[in-house]
Amino acid sequence: MGEISDAMERAREAEGHESPDPVAAPRKPQPAPPPRPVGAEAPDLSLDAIRESLAREAEPAAPRPGAGPEPAHVGIHRIPRDKGAHWASRAVVADPHGTGAVRFPHLAVRIRAALDRLGRSSLLVTSALKGEGKTTVSVNLALALASIAPDRRVALVDLDLRASSVATVLGIEAKRGVETVLAGECDLEAIRVPTDLGRLDVYPVARPTANAQALLGHGAERMLSELVESHDYVIADGPPVLPVPDTPLLAPLVGGCLAVVRSRHTRHAAFREFVELMPRSAILGVFVNDAPERKDRDAYGYYGSASVPSGAGEGSDNGDEDEGAVGP
């Protein structure tokens, strides 16, 4: 015990002989580091770990829940100008001075005037049967409208859900289409394909479906209303009238209908049945497709609804109405 007391006494004496440093500032007490959560590991600051972190940040972010699908077409689609496959359906840009294309600017001027006069902006292009050229007319009409009115927004929408071809003739590869919008799976902006011609937007069908009537009945009115709100003119390529009931369902939802007949192909009986099934007030006019070139004004192949007689489609005087075809 005596040794311990002597050691403590010597320590007190040595402490009393130390002189404090007058220059040194008093040191501030440093806060203690926050306690690490139980189970947490120290961050890995190795080079490999940093590289992995940078690689993860460079990866595209996963879509947020509810953010909606990405657009179906990125950038502006260039409409093919060559005379490759299906070029006749885009003759307005593929062969603008050819005899098959010069009619469509005239048709566009007349249709625009008719719609403006009626205070409407949407037109459904249809025919009695398939193979009469309604897609050729609807696509070329939309191209012509976009050409003569580059300041107006024009929409070309494919409503022939069972046998669509607008995307094919324009060279568009669509992942989603009108059928997806009608089913409520995405909105119109997700399938809009802007083009390099004026302010023309295309709304294609991605996958044809046999469930067309149910889809059109479910969402066609809403979709067409949205298109009319966002565009100055809406041209719809509709299904043929006689094989399916889709067109009479669509006719009340648009501003008017353009009937397409094919010269020397459309039967009088088929056209007569077409007129009987369609509301007369809905038919704005008749376009004769594939008509031979003539020197009078009928060479344009368009007839306003006022020139469609009440007996349109009646057979010739010899009574052979089933075998007769509509002439130019």
In this prediction, residue 320 carries a pLDDT of 35
CA distance 84 to 142: 20
**pTM score > 0.75 for this model?**
no
**3-state helix, strand and coil shares in percent for the chain, rounded to the nearest 5:** 40, 15, 50
pLDDT of residue 279 exceeding 60: yes
The CA–CA distances, whole Å, from 291 to 127, 153, 288, 300, 324 equal 15, 30, 6, 8, 16
pLDDT tens digits along 136-160: 999 999 999 999 999 999 999 999 9
Ordered DSSP codes for 93-135 = HHSTTSTTTTHHHHHHHHHHHHHHHHT--EEEEEESSTTS-HH
Residue-by-residue DSSP string for 215-243 = HHHHHHHHHHHHHHHH-SEEEEEPPPTTT
Cα separations (Å) of 16 from 10, 13, 20, 27, 45?
A: 10, 5, 10, 21, 48
Q: Pull the structure tokens for residue 204.
A: 């294609």
The string of pLDDT tens digits covering residues 235-270 is 999 999 999 999 989 999 999 999 999 988 888 899
Cα distance from N-terminal residue to C-terminal residue, the chain: 133
Q: What tokens does 76 get?
A: 């502006």
Instruction: Count the neighbouring beta carbons within 10 Å of the beta carbon of residue 272.
Output: 17
Instruction: Identify the sign of the CA torsion 70, 74, 80, 81.
Output: positive
**Within 13 Å of residue 19, how many CA atoms lie on the same side as its CB?**
3
Give the tens place of pLDDT for each residue, 200-225.
Answer: 999 999 999 998 999 999 999 999 99
pLDDT tens by residue, 105-119: 999 999 999 999 999
Q: In the numeric block, which tokens belong to residue 223? A: 């979709």
* pLDDT tens digits along 12-49: 555 554 444 444 444 545 555 555 544 444 445 444 54
292: helix, coil or strand?
coil
Alpha helices in the chain (DSSP H): 2-17, 47-58, 91-94, 103-118, 134-148, 166-170, 178-182, 212-230, 246-250, 268-277
Domains of the chain: residue spans and CATH: 88-307 (3.40.50.300)
For residue 129, pLDDT over 70 is answered with yes
The phi, psi pair for 163, rounded to 5°, reads: -140, 60
Lowest mean pLDDT: which of 150-159, 226-235, 285-294?
285-294
